[in-house]
């Protein structure tokens, strides 16, 4: 079967991803572009019995003038003929209401001489919006073929697939030639590089990146001969180009599109009036956040308990069924609890992404950006920082990348630096288990659960700290650059269940297979370190303890004796010696050496904490017990009493709230800021601050 | 006068963009001389400004709005 | 050493190898950036 490459391009918020989902269904995969962390979505669809289409959903962009890494991807692919994904045909996706703006991008792509189809989405809404369109005339003016589609009603896709399959019949002629803004300059370009597309040369000259085999400096050196353009002249030409394109587009649409203005308003205006109200708007946002966290806490608890118990009994079953030996022990005590420690977070992560994607899809997130800009500006942030900060509650890594659309570098840098304070989902398991251990499971006013409230409070602390440190940075850092802020207010939409579902599945999968592998590897390593010791004390643990019991004449039950032996072993294992080594550092915070080990291993990824404790505590344990039960039985080695009490619990919660414990985030920050300076700053500042705060909290509460 | 001087609900035509460093993105979204702009009437938030420029709904900060000069359309 | 012990150490080495690869042998990043002063 033959396969062709199809690129989907379009403005952000035009339902491009819905179109992609409709075309490919679940037959898609999400990866990264090589070397950079921009998400790459690709999928395959069958066009006919002999033809398949490999479809790439390119990042949303308003034009081919790249101002961010994501937008660069689009240009790089469209300019580089040697790229294995170089499209045979481009589909520009526009929704009916933003047609004008999407046509800007469309005319630019047409200028590159690529076969281009225009897919107009949400065509089912034309009547309701009072819009009518003269398709044949529009096709003629734009020199293209148009497919009217609706991803909501799932109509028009056969026509679109048909157009894609017959892409060879499409005109590759430009419909609005950029050369007209400066015929002399473009004419000279054409003369110097006769076998290149002139518009392509122009894009390479005006962008900061090199594309494929076209080298910018090489072009520059050759163009020097006729007329070098200064940076500001180039920018003025770019502006002229946009104006020329819009003139063409406005003329075209005047002839082909009629709009009954009275039918157009309505829902948008009334929802805006409520959601962007200077009092109600903020209240509604607060209530939405509160609801989300209550739901995550309440709903996810049931599947989580189930998972916890199933893994405990599965581990028990393995131990009794497989032949006895060290490897069986590794499976039962290291690998199965390790996998359990990953699976248990799936419900919460899925719920969190469910809500975040609903907020984004519905168009509500942009209203929050609007509402918060004025406040955020005072702290050196932008309204757009709200999206990274909110998605930081899922994971700091995509959040740091989401900050790319903040126009101002200082605002963007501050956003990146403070994101790790927001409570990411990796902290959630640590919080959940500690809250369950030290905060009473009672209700306040009969509605709000104390445990839920503490969790919400932790989210506020994280967010508050993020904003506070942003303000500090804002005061310290100086910049002369003027701040800009442009944000589109998309139409309200009922989120498509399919889109939401795909996002939830994607993100959960990337957690399980990304962080999950690390957690599993660390669980295995920890188990081995806890099951072997450097000297004879470990090997002869049973004899040593038995003699000790005899000489001291202790009267112990078999169970007590077993516990004594296994804790003796643990103390003299590799990990026991490592833990003892760091105990002086963590003791002032109320932790024993086991928690110390868990805290250290958390620097690979925070969610390792629970898995680590699960592994350490289950080594040598014979009974089937959940992690929680084991933890609550632990005794403080110095002061006696429960190890996990209010003081040490709060101290741990605060430590995890503030400390920078994620290598992956540090790596992403390094990549996004292009220097080690900022990630090292984060590591030192955040962790130091966390230590001091936890120390104070424990010493006050104990 | 500039967009910043418009009252909510008022419509105007963009005449000139006075700053060299206005982001290209704003132009791409249709903020160009000759295009119509309306300040959307909602609540009483004045910064950022909620605008309809050339049929695109967007928000910009007051300081940027000052750089976009307009002429009021008689109603 | 029994088969079980050998398997334990093999798994252990695989786990260490995975982490080392994950954190120390990152793919080279590519430099590409926008037109603004974004620090790159």
Inter-residue contact A531 to A329 (CB < 8 Å): yes
The rounded radius of gyration (Å) of the Cα atoms in chain C is: 20
Closest CA to A498 of A9, A160, A24, A40: A24
A224 pLDDT higher than 90: no
Contact A370 B63 (CB under 8 A): no
Q: Work out the number of other CB atoms within 10 angstroms of the CB of residue A171.
A: 15
Residue A497 located in a structural domain: no
Q: What is the ipTM of this complex?
A: 0.93
Helix axes A450-476, A646-658, angle to 10 degrees: 40
The continuous run of DSSP H or E covering B60 comes out as strand B56-60
| Residues sharing a CB contact under 8 Å with residue B61, sequence separation 6 or more, in sequence order | A373, A377, A483, A484, A485, B47, B48, B49
A331 pLDDT higher than 70: yes
φ/ψ of A196, rounded to 5, equals: -110, 155
Model confidence band, residue C34 (pLDDT cutoffs 50, 70, 90): very low
> Which residues pair with residue B60 across a beta bridge?
A486, B49
Cα-based angle A363, A364, A366 (whole degrees, multiple of 5): 80
Closest CA to A616 of A312, A338, A314: A338
Nearest CA in chain C to A407: C36
More confident residue, A284 or A67: A284
- From the list A327, A407, A674, the residue facing C36 with the nearest CB is A407
| Residues sharing a CB contact under 8 Å with residue A41, sequence separation 6 or more, in sequence order | A17, A20, A28, A29, A30, A56, A57
Model confidence band, residue A225 (pLDDT cutoffs 50, 70, 90): low
- pLDDT at position C30, please? 38
* Shared-domain flag, residues A323 and A418: yes
- pLDDT at position A116, please? 93
Structural domain total, chain A: 4
- pLDDT at position A668, please? 78
Inter-residue contact A597 to A579 (CB < 8 Å): yes
Q: Which of A91-95, A500-504, A558-562, A578-582 is the most confident on average? A: A91-95
Contact B55 A487 (CB under 8 A): no
User: How long a stretch of residues is chain A?
Assistant: 702
Q: Does C24 touch chain A (CB under 8 A)?
A: no
Q: Does B30 touch chain A (CB under 8 A)?
A: yes
A637 pLDDT higher than 70: no
Written as one string, the DSSP assignment of A58-125 is PPP-SSSS--SHHHHHHHHHHH-TTSTT--SEEEEEEEGGGHHHHHHHHHHHHHTT--EEEEEE-GGG
The answer to which of A165-169, A221-225, A445-449 has the lowest mean pLDDT is: A221-225
**Exposure string for A122-142, b = 16+ CB within 10 A, e = fewer:** bbbbbeebebebeeeebeebb
More confident residue, A364 or A639: A364
**Exposure string for C1-38, b = 16+ CB within 10 A, e = fewer:** eeebeebbeebbeebeebbeebeeeeeeeeebbbbbeb
Structural domain total, chain B: 1
A348 pLDDT higher than 90: no
Q: Which tokens is A43 given?
A: 């999928």
The answer to which of A56-60, A627-631, B36-40 has the lowest mean pLDDT is: A627-631
For A14-73, the pLDDT digits (tens) are: 888 889 988 888 777 776 665 555 678 889 998 888 899 999 999 888 888 877 777 888
A266 pLDDT higher than 80: no
Residue A694 located in a structural domain: yes
In A445-539, DSSP assigns E strands to 448-449, 486-488
Q: Which tokens is A537 given?
A: 């004390």
Tell me what percent of the residues of chain A surpass a pLDDT of 90.
20
A270: preceding bond cis by omega (within 30 degrees):
no
Tell me what percent of the residues of chain A surpass a pLDDT of 70.
91
Residue A437 located in a structural domain: no
A437 pLDDT higher than 70: yes
Residue A73 located in a structural domain: yes
Contact C18 A330 (CB under 8 A): no
- pLDDT at position C39, please? 33
Chain A residues within 8 A of C7 when measuring between CB atoms: 327, 330
* Shared-domain flag, residues A683 and A660: yes
Dmax (CA) of chain A: 104
Residue A415 located in a structural domain: yes
CATH number assigned to the domain comprising residue B23: 2.30.30.90
Q: Which tokens is A102 given?
A: 């999407």
Q: Which residues of A are annotated as a binding site for GTP?
A: 10-17, 35-39, 57-60, 121-124
Contact C39 A207 (CB under 8 A): no
The answer to which of A263-267, A532-536, A668-672, C9-13 has the lowest mean pLDDT is: A263-267
For A155-194, the pLDDT digits (tens) are: 889 999 999 999 888 888 888 887 888 888 888 888 888 7
- Alpha-carbon distance A68 to A80, whole Å? 18
Q: Which of A109-123, A345-359, C15-29 is the most confident on average? A: A109-123
Nearest CA in chain B to A233: B20
More confident residue, A115 or A622: A115
User: How long a stretch of residues is chain B?
Assistant: 75
- pLDDT at position C36, please? 35
* Shared-domain flag, residues A173 and A184: no
- pLDDT at position A93, please? 93
| Residue range of the domain that includes B40 | 3-72
Inter-residue contact A379 to A372 (CB < 8 Å): no
Model confidence band, residue C33 (pLDDT cutoffs 50, 70, 90): very low
| Residue range of the domain that includes A358 | 280-428+449-476
Chain A residues within 8 A of B55 when measuring between CB atoms: 97-98, 100-101
- Alpha-carbon distance A388 to A381, whole Å? 11
- pLDDT at position A625, please? 58
More confident residue, A547 or A607: A547
Q: Of A177, A202, A222, which one is at a domain's C-terminal end? A: A177
Q: Work out the number of other CB atoms within 10 angstroms of the CB of residue A283.
A: 10
More confident residue, A241 or C29: A241
- Alpha-carbon distance A72 to C34, whole Å? 7
Nearest chain A Cα distance for residue C1, angstroms: 11
For A543-596, the pLDDT digits (tens) are: 888 888 888 877 777 777 777 787 788 788 898 898 888 889 999 998 988 888
Chain C residues within 8 A of A212 when measuring between CB atoms: none
Q: Which residues of A touch C (CB under 8 A)?
A: 34-36, 65-69, 71-72, 76, 207-209, 323, 325-328, 330, 407, 409, 412-413, 481, 517-518, 520-522, 524-525, 528, 604, 663, 667, 671, 673-675
- pLDDT at position A527, please? 85
- pLDDT at position A566, please? 76
Q: Which tokens is A407 given?
A: 């126009």
Inter-residue contact A380 to A470 (CB < 8 Å): yes
For residue A681, CA distances in Å to A394, A418, A435 come to: 23, 11, 30
A481 pLDDT higher than 70: no
* Shared-domain flag, residues A227 and A303: no
C26 pLDDT higher than 60: no
Model confidence band, residue A216 (pLDDT cutoffs 50, 70, 90): low
Chain C residues within 8 A of A68 when measuring between CB atoms: 34
Q: What mean pLDDT, rounded, does chain A reach?
A: 83
Inter-residue contact A612 to A601 (CB < 8 Å): yes
For residue A304, CA distances in Å to A312, A648, B39 come to: 12, 24, 50
Chain A residues within 8 A of C23 when measuring between CB atoms: 604, 663, 667
- pLDDT at position C31, please? 37
Nearest chain A Cα distance for residue C28, angstroms: 6
**Exposure string for A25-42, b = 16+ CB within 10 A, e = fewer:** eeebebeebeebbbbbbb
The residue-averaged pLDDT of A256-269 equals: 72
- Alpha-carbon distance B59 to A486, whole Å? 6
The residue-averaged pLDDT of A266-291 equals: 87
The answer to which of A260-264, A508-512, B67-71 has the lowest mean pLDDT is: A260-264
Residue A486 located in a structural domain: no
- pLDDT at position A399, please? 81
Closest CA to A624 of A402, A251, A310, A354: A310
For A403-417, the pLDDT digits (tens) are: 877 877 888 899 999
Residue A234 located in a structural domain: yes
CATH number assigned to the domain comprising residue A78: 3.40.50.300
Contact C4 A524 (CB under 8 A): no
| Residues sharing a CB contact under 8 Å with residue A643, sequence separation 6 or more, in sequence order | A592, A595, A631, A634, A635, A636, A637
């Amino acid at each position: 079967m033959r396969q062709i490459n199809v690129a989907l391009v379009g403005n952000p918020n035009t339902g491009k991803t819905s179109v992609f989902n409709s075309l490919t269904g679940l037959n898609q995969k999400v990866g990264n572009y090589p070397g950079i962390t921009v998400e790459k979505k690709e999928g395959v669809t069958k066009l006919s019995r002999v033809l398949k289409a490999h479809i790439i959903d390119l990042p949303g962009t308003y034009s081919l003038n790249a101002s961010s890494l994501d937008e660069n991807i689009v240009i790089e692919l469209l300019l580089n003929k040697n790229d294995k994904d170089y499209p045979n045909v481009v589909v520009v996706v526009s929704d009916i209401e933003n047609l004008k703006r999407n046509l800007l991008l469309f005319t630019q792509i047409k200028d590159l001489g690529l076969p281009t189809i225009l897919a107009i989405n949400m065509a089912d809404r034309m009547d309701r919006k009072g819009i009518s369109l003269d398709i044949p005339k529009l096709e003629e003016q734009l020199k293209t073929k148009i497919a009217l589609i609706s991803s909501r009603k799932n109509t028009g896709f056969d026509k679109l697939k048909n157009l894609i399959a017959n892409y060879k019949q499409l005109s590759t002629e430009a419909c609005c030639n950029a050369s007209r803004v400066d015929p002399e300059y473009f004419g000279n370009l054409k003369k110097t590089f006769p076998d290149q597309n002139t518009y392509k040369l122009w894009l390479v000259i005006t962008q900061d990146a090199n594309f494929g085999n076209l080298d910018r400096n090489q072009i520059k050196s050759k163009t020097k001969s006729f007329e070098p353009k200064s940076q500001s002249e180039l920018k003025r030409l770019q502006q002229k180009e946009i104006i020329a394109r819009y003139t063409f587009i406005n003329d075209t649409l005047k002839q082909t599109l009629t709009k009954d203005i009275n039918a157009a308003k309505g829902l948008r205006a009334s929802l805006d009036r409520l959601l962007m109200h200077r009092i109600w708007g903020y209240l509604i946002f607060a209530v939405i956040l509160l609801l989300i966290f209550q739901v995550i806490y309440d709903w996810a608890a049931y599947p989580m308990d189930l998972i916890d118990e199933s893994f405990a009994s599965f581990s028990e079953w393995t131990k009794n069924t497989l032949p006895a030996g060290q490897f069986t022990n590794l499976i039962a005590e290291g690998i199965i609890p390790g996998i359990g420690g990953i699976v248990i977070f799936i419900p919460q992560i899925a719920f969190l992404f469910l809500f975040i994607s609903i907020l984004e899809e519905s168009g509500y997130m942009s209203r929050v950006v609007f509402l918060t800009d004025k406040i955020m500006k005072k702290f050196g942030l932008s309204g757009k920082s709200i999206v990274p900060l909110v998605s930081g509650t899922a994971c700091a890594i995509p959040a740091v990348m989401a900050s790319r659309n903040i126009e101002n570098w200082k605002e963007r840098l501050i956003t990146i630096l403070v994101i790790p304070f927001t409570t990411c989902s990796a902290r959630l398991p640590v919080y959940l288990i500690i809250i369950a251990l030290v905060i009473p499971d009672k209700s306040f006013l009969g509605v709000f659960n104390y445990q839920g409230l503490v969790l919400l409070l932790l989210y506020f602390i994280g967010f508050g700290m993020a904003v506070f440190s942003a303000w500090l940075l804002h005061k310290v850092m100086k910049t002369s650059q003027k701040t800009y802020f442009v944000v589109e207010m998309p139409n309200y939409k009922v989120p498509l269940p399919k889109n939401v579902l795909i996002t939830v599945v994607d993100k959960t999968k990337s957690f399980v297979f990304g962080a999950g592998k690390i957690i599993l590897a660390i669980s295995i390593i920890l188990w081995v370190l806890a099951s072997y010791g450097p000297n004879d004390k470990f090997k002869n643990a049973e004899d040593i303890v038995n003699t000790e019991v005899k000489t001291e004449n202790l009267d112990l039950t078999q169970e007590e004796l077993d516990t004594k032996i296994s804790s003796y072993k643990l103390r003299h294992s590799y990990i026991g010696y490592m833990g003892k080594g760091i105990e002086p550092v963590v003791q002032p915070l109320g932790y024993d050496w086991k928690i110390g080990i868990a805290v250290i291993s958390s620097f690979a990824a925070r969610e390792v904490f629970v898995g680590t404790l699960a592994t350490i505590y289950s080594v040598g344990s014979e009974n089937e017990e959940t992690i929680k039960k084991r933890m609550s039985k632990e005794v403080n080695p110095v002061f006696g009493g429960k190890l996990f009490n209010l003081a040490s619990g709060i101290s741990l919660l605060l430590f995890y709230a503030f400390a920078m414990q994620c290598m992956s985030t540090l790596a992403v920050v390094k990549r996004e800021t292009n220097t080690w300076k900022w990630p090292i700053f984060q590591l030192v500042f955040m962790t130091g601050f966390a230590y001091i705060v936890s120390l104070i909290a424990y010493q006050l509460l104990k | 006068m500039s967009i910043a001087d418009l009252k909510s609900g008022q419509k105007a035509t963009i005449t000139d963009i006075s700053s060299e460093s206005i982001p290209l993105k704003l132009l791409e979204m249709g903020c160009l001389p000759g295009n119509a702009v309306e300040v959307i009437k909602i609540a009483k938030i004045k910064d950022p400004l909620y605008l309809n420029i050339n049929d695109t709904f967007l928000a910009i900060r007051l300081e940027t709005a000052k750089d976009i000069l307009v002429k009021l359309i008689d109603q | 050493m029994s088969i079980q012990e050998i398997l334990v150490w093999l798994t252990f080495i695989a786990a260490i190898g995975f982490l080392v690869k994950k954190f120390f042998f990152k793919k080279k990043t590519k430099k590409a950036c926008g037109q603004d002063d974004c620090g790159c």
